[in-house]
Amino acid sequence: MDKKIKLYDKTFELYIREADIVEAISRVAAEIRRDMEGKNPLFVGILTGAYMFVAELMSRMPPTSELTFAAYSSYHGTKSAGIVQELLPIRSDVRDRPIVLLEDIVDTGLTMQYVTRRLREGGAVDVRLATMLLKPGSLKCNLKPDYVGMEIDNDFIVGFGLDYDGLGRNSRNIYRIVEND
């Protein structure tokens, strides 16, 4: 396990180990299973960053669970642009269904606020948000995820699906940026 990694012009140091990430995801999965028992939720994985979170979490769901994907973007480099772009819309019918959004990280909250509003307008009976990571100090809207793996500081991070301009996603650990290296 690397203590530091270099991606392009930035250095990142080990922040959260894989074992701690998987433990948090297991806890979130148990909470969702409890709350969704007897319901027929549609799980929506938000690409691209959440793919590892989705895989870990969905492996703990019943085999009858339905999963689809959607993609939105608001990031360029290490900063959020604040404008949500829909890259891949949800292609399943959301009317009269509970929806569980599966997001890698809630930072400003603007993307998930947008997606949640769109799903409610589309007729979803309940929209819940599960996030692997939450940066409470970065929120720019009134968004409260229903399921949170871990709360973290307002650092730029990579690993376990999160990237820096396309690199670092495949690390099983999470690394944070080193500002002065």
Which residues are tagged catalytic?
107
DSSP assignment of 76-144, as one string? ETTEEEEEEEEEE---S--TTSEEEEEEEEESSSHHHHHHHHHHHHTT-SEEEEEEEEE-GGG--SS--
For 93, residues 6+ apart whose C-beta sits below 8 A from its C-beta are none
Between β-strands 174-177 and 98-106, what pairing exists: parallel, antiparallel or unpaired? Answer: unpaired
